[in-house]
Chains A and B, each alone.
Chain A
């Protein structure tokens, strides 16, 4: 046990603490609704300024205090934190329990070559440890010790002996694989991972609620831009131009955040490094892997690219915000995907025996879809009072939904190979999930009254990175799956996290 040397972060990091306070404000904005209401209700002109100013002072004072009372100490095997202004908090995190490490060189620290180190622990409270303002050298060295913990590495090397599929060609060189993704690839990623539609939905909903659009914007547009009314095509053109601009903007965001994306694999350590303004490095050790997700939405299918995300154990508190700070490769060609799959030791794609679920699974959704036909027919009849239209509409809605149900069933499949459970689904896109079976936490066999009637059961497997349901297995098969998986898990003594 080495002596603890408590350190304070550099003074510059006050900016980080201020940013954190502001983030907290935005996260807890609902708490301030009474205050906001007070601002709107009163007539006094000074109140909004008083509240705003008071809040500003509060943010700065609490940031200074938080910075002053933020102490950390680094030892050979753990990181210690002592934080808190009034209620003190002491935290010790063993390196070997760390799931993932992230170095965030934010734009405001880059000029000073400082960085934020962020690590996830495996505790049930989901404590994330953030140390701002480490110098890059120290942080990199620290991450090295964290992820290449000596004891753990020895265990891994032993595990490797049992796994024939490991590419061991360059076992001695420090870096096994390095790949860079160019601008063209990132633009592709921007096209198919475009958040434009999400953004639009988020923007349009509150706008439609507040009636600002109808009461203010439209009259203003009509008053000021009269030429718009002259041509319908001009209207359409304006909308198209606006959408295109937003689309390009969203691509730009993707390119900036992923600029100069580099994947490095070295001795079981997977690392991505990317960013134009803020450089972010995310790395994890292979034994911590809990799930691999290969995603290809419709646009990605057209562009023939894949997105791969690797999950580690995420405590439930973080389950919702998985998109931030996970290990993601946004754009991979097919050969790139195959290469990465080899390094992740996923089963070889050609030898897979995908299994479909029983066609009986179609009965239940088909029943509800069948109900939709008379419903749409009646509704449209009530609206337009036309028998033909009602029939046609009802039939086409039913047909579309029924085709979707069948397609969903047809494109679903699961497989077991080399200790992995794989599931693929998706009608328009293609989604593949891979779970290392021996790392599963619970296995359920579930029967609703309907399933019991048919003699089927759902199998639910809980892993540390989420649950997966395999529907409609014959009861005997489901029980067999449960007991054989349990047997495999119970008799596997390798590290699972």
Chain B
């Protein structure tokens, strides 16, 4: 069965970049406070030894990684299953059969709200959190998908109880 991949919102890239910037800023603050407030810090190497790798990592994640991750992230819905493609360098294609979904959840983090994004998570049994979570969806779209999935699952289950 051919799978039609649907890309996530372009905003997702900006969201990833913001996350990278915030994480790196926290690192920078920790590093800077080491140099500024630590007494007897003569043994620390010149700030450039930390600054240059820091800048390189920031550029790598902010430009290359977030772009690749955004480009590769996509989801697909077929009659049988929900698919998710995820990752930048380490890539994962996950599929959850619709008749194994236990519950569905739409979540919106604080940063995601700034971009109007949300993520949709499908839970299955026994996996302990390793479930399918589609990031970078517009909130309205995520809600619609959730409603649609729940209807599908509910219909399936009435079928099954008839079968019993």
Does B123 belong to the interface (CB within 8 Å)? yes
Number of interface residues of B (CB under 8 A): 31
Q: By the criterion CB–CB under 8 Å, are A490 and B89 in contact?
A: no
Interface hit among A73-81, A163-171, A439-447:
A439-447
Choose among B79, B94, B127, B164 the residue that contacts A154 (Cβ–Cβ < 8 A): B164
A447–B94 touching, CB < 8 Å: no
For A459-471 the 0/1 string (1 means CB < 8 A from B) is 0001111110000
A486 touching B124, Cβ below 8 Å: no
Q: Which residues of B contact A122 (CB under 8 A)?
A: 125
**Structural contact, A490 and B81, CB atoms closer than 8 A:** yes
Contact B90 A316 (CB under 8 A): no
Chain B neighbourhood of A319, CB < 8 A = 128
A376 to B159, alpha carbons, bound, how many Å? 63
The minimal Cβ–Cβ distance linking B90 to chain A, given in whole angstroms, is 5
A464-B92 in contact (CB<8A)? no
Q: Does A483 contact B (CB under 8 A)?
A: yes
- Structural contact, A124 and B95, CB atoms closer than 8 A: no
Structural contact, A441 and B125, CB atoms closer than 8 A: yes
| A23 on interface, CB distance cutoff 8 Å | no
Binary per-residue interface labels of chain B (131-152) against chain A in the complex, 1 for a CB within 8 Å, 0 otherwise: 1100000000000000000000
What is the CA–CA distance of A495 and B125 in the complex, to the nearest angstrom? 14
Are A316 and B96 in touch, CB under 8 angstroms? Answer: no
Chain B 153-164: CB-based contact to A (< 8 A → 1; otherwise 0): 000000110011
**Does B90 contact A448, Cβ atoms closer than 8 Å?**
yes
Question: In the complex, what residue of chain A is closest to B160 when comparing beta carbons?
Answer: A493
User: A445's closest neighbor in chain B, by CB?
Assistant: B93
Segment with Cβ contacts to A, from B37-45, B59-67, B98-106, B109-117: B98-106
Is A151's CB within 8 Å of the partner chain B?
yes
Give Cα A154–Cα B162 distance, bound, in whole angstroms: 12
Q: A497 touching B81 by the CB < 8 A rule?
A: no
Shortest Cβ gap from A456 to chain B (Å): 12
Q: How far is the CA of A482 from the CA of B94 in the complex (A)?
A: 9
Taking a contact as CB atoms under 8 Å apart, the answer to whether B93 and A482 are in contact is yes
**Nearest-neighbor residue (CB-CB) of B89 within chain A:** A449
> Are A490 and B126 closer than 8 Å at their CB atoms?
no
Query: Scoring A residues 303 to 330 as 1 if CB is less than 8 Å from chain B, else 0, what string do you get?
Result: 0000000000111100100000000000
Chain A residues with CB under 8 Å of B80's CB are 486-487, 489-491
Asked if A441 and B124 make an inter-chain contact with CB atoms under 8 angstroms apart, the answer reads yes
Given contact pairs A486-B81, A487-B1, A489-B100, A444 touches B95 in the complex (Cβ within 8 A): yes
List of B residues within 8 angstroms of A465 by Cβ: 126
The reply to whether B132 and A442 form a contact with Cβ atoms under 8 Å apart is yes
Asked if A124 meets B102 with Cβ closer than 8 Å, knowing A486-B80, A487-B1, the reply is yes
Q: Is A417 an interface residue (CB 8 A)?
A: no
Binary A-proximity of B74-86 (CB < 8 A = 1, otherwise 0): 0000011100000
Q: Known contacts A124-B123, A313-B125; is A489 also within 8 Å of B99 by CB?
A: yes
| B97 interfacial by beta-carbon distance below 8 Å | yes
Given A442-B124, A486-B81, A487-B80, A462 contacting B130 (CB threshold 8 A) = yes
How many angstroms from the CA of A445 to the CA of B94 in the assembled complex?
Answer: 6
Give the shortest distance, in Å, between A461 (CB) and chain B (any CB).
Answer: 10
Complex Cα spacing A496 to B97, Å: 13
Which chain A residues numbered 414 to 470 have a C-beta less than 8 Å away from chain B?
440-449, 452, 462-467
Interface residues of A, dominant DSSP: mixed
Please tell me if the beta carbons of B93 and A490 are within 8 angstroms of each other in the complex. Answer: no
Give complex CA distance A71, B125 in Å: 29
Which B residues touch A493, using CB under 8 A?
99, 159-160, 163
A155 part of interface (Cβ distance < 8 Å) = yes
Q: Kindly report which residue of chain B lies nearest to residue A96, judged by CB atoms.
A: B164
Q: CA separation between A462 and B128, bound complex, in Å?
A: 10
Whether B51 is near chain A, meaning CB under 8 Å from some CB there, is: no
Do A316 and B164 touch (CB < 8 A)? no
- Closest Cβ of chain A: how far from B4's Cβ, in Å? 14
A266 at the interface (CB under 8 A from B): no
Chain B residues with Cβ under 8 A from A315's Cβ? 126, 128
Q: How far is the CB of B145 from chain A (nearest CB, A)?
A: 18
| B136 to A: closest C-beta gap in Å | 20
CB distance from A317 to the nearest CB of B (A): 8
Report if A246 contacts B (CB, 8 A).
Answer: no
Contacting pair A497 B1 (CB below 8 A): no
Q: Name the contact of B95 in the complex, choosing from A290, A314, A482, A495 (C-beta under 8 A).
A: A482
- Interface contact B128-A444, CB-CB below 8 Å: no
Give chain A residues whose Cβ lies under 8 Å from the Cβ of B95.
442-444, 482, 486
Cβ-closest chain A residue relative to B81: A486
Q: Would B164 and A442 count as touching, CB distance under 8 A?
A: no
Do residues B164 and A155 form an inter-chain contact, with CB atoms below 8 A? yes
A324–B81 Cα gap in the complex (Å)? Answer: 35
Closest partner residue, chain B, to A447 (CB atom): B91
Please determine whether A449 and B125 come into contact, CB atoms closer than 8 angstroms: no
User: Residue of B at shortest CB range from A311?
Assistant: B126
Q: CB of A370 within 8 A of chain B?
A: no
Distance between Cα atoms of A490 and B95 in the complex (Å): 11
Which residues of the partner chain B approach A314 to less than 8 Å between Cβ atoms?
126
| B163 in complex: contacting residue of A155, A449, A482, A487, CB < 8 Å | A155
A152 proximal to B (CB < 8 A): yes
B125 touches A497 (CB 8 A): yes
B65 to chain A, nearest CB (A): 13
Q: Is B129 an interface residue (CB 8 A)?
A: yes
Contacting residues, chain B, for A479 (C-beta < 8 A): 93
Q: What is the chain B residue whose CB lies nearest that of A152? A: B164
Q: List residues of A (275-325) whose CB comes within 8 Å of B's CBs.
A: 290, 313-316, 319
Some 11 contacts from A to B, beta carbons below 8 A apart, are A122-B125, A155-B164, A316-B127, A447-B91, A462-B130, A467-B127, A482-B93, A483-B1, A487-B80, A489-B99, A491-B80
Rank and list the top 5 A-B pairs by shortest CB-CB distance, nearest first: A316-B128, A490-B80, A464-B126, A441-B124, A489-B97
Contacts A442-B100, A444-B94, A482-B95 known; 13 new A-B pairs at CB < 8 A: A152-B164, A313-B125, A315-B128, A316-B127, A442-B96, A444-B95, A463-B126, A464-B126, A467-B130, A486-B95, A490-B79, A491-B80, A493-B99
